[in-house]
Amino acid sequence: MRRLEGGVFAMGSERFYPEEAPARRVRLSPFWIDEVPVTNAAFLAFVDATGYRTEAEQALGGLEAGSLLFRPTAAPVPLDDPSQWWTFEPGVDWRHPEGAGSSLDDLWDHPVVHVTCGDAEAFARWCGKALPTEAEWEFASRGGLEGADYAWGDVLAPQGVMLANYWQGAFPFANQLLDGWERTSPVRTYPANGFGMSDMIGNVWEWTADWYGLAKSKACCSPQTDPRGGRKHDSQALGETVARRVVKGGSFLCAEDYCRRYRPAARSAQAVDTSASHIGFRCVVRSFVGPSK
């Protein structure tokens, strides 16, 4: 883990998606955060020690055990219909990340995937840690670069150099693999940011402790201190029954023509009971207790 001293920084952005705005000043207390996402090897140690079974490994609520798996399409499809490339597949879980017959061979140093928010929190409790707040995660991701679009500056691929695992080419059918990876990549494949943090952009989305809600308005006179996200019941979209948490960082599926969320300010809402092949997590240890929700 790395200890970050906290301080004041500009959270959010007004240059990309509306849910990232407004940009506002935030003050954070010091905290420790994992340098990399939790890997398959680390998650195996947790499972071996506790006998834990992830939600994807259980038939819950009358549903068959399984998880959401990305399957590229053979040709262009409407980008407003994720069902074209996402499918719920029985037998898919963290041990079998690419299909019921797949394994973790050669993937032990890749981020664990197919874990729900509850699974991530169970791991965190076991090792005496917690999930980061959205503000903590974004502060760590920025690496000390004030207001930069990306964790390394304002150019996505400076001089053509790939600095994160994301989709190059036309999504969801023509991945050019300029970064060398079709799905997840080993942690620390790409250079760390200014705080020594790796894989905070691309590779896998990461769970946070905050319920999803619209970003709060700018403070009128002073930065918000150790802010938290929305409330649980506010995180449910109209017509939905499952609450959603904020996930951060984008994944290997983010592309320039679809979901440009491979940035520190980017955020998305994920149902807490849903696991998928592009969502993982990392943990924090903090020396303060935030307001309860």
Confidence (pTM): 0.93
CB 70 within 8 A of CB 278: yes
Closest CA to 281 of 98, 117, 127, 97: 117
The whole-number pLDDT of residue 293 equals: 40
For 176-206, the DSSP string reads: --TTS-SS---TTSS---TTS--S-SBSSEE
The whole-number pLDDT of residue 227 equals: 85
Torsion of CA 58, 63, 69, 73, to 10 degrees: 160
pLDDT digits (tens, 9 = 90+) for 120-141: 999 999 999 999 999 999 999 9
Using N-to-C axis directions, what is the helix angle for 40-50 and 117-126, rounded to 10°? 70
The whole-number pLDDT of residue 216 equals: 62
pLDDT band, very low/low/confident/very high, at 220 (cuts 50, 70, 90): low
Average of pLDDT values for 220-225? 75
Q: How far apart are CA 12 and CA 218, in angstroms?
A: 10
Q: Is the pLDDT at 219 greater than 60, yes or no?
A: no
How are beta strands 205-211 and 244-248 bridged, if at all? antiparallel
Q: How far apart are CA 153 and CA 87, in angstroms?
A: 35
Lowest mean pLDDT among 203-207, 220-224, 266-270: 220-224
* Residue 17 burial by Cβ neighbours in a 10 Å radius (0-12, 13-18, 19+): middle
Average of pLDDT values for 187-203? 97
Q: What percent of the chain has pLDDT over 70?
A: 94
Q: How far apart are CA 28 and CA 287, in angstroms?
A: 11
Q: How far apart are CA 288 and CA 28, in angstroms?
A: 10
pLDDT digits (tens, 9 = 90+) for 83-113: 999 999 999 999 999 998 999 999 999 999 9
Diameter of the chain by CA atoms? 57
| Mean pLDDT for the chain overall | 92
pLDDT digits (tens, 9 = 90+) for 5-21: 999 999 999 999 999 99
Backbone angles phi, psi at 117, to 5 degrees: -60, -40
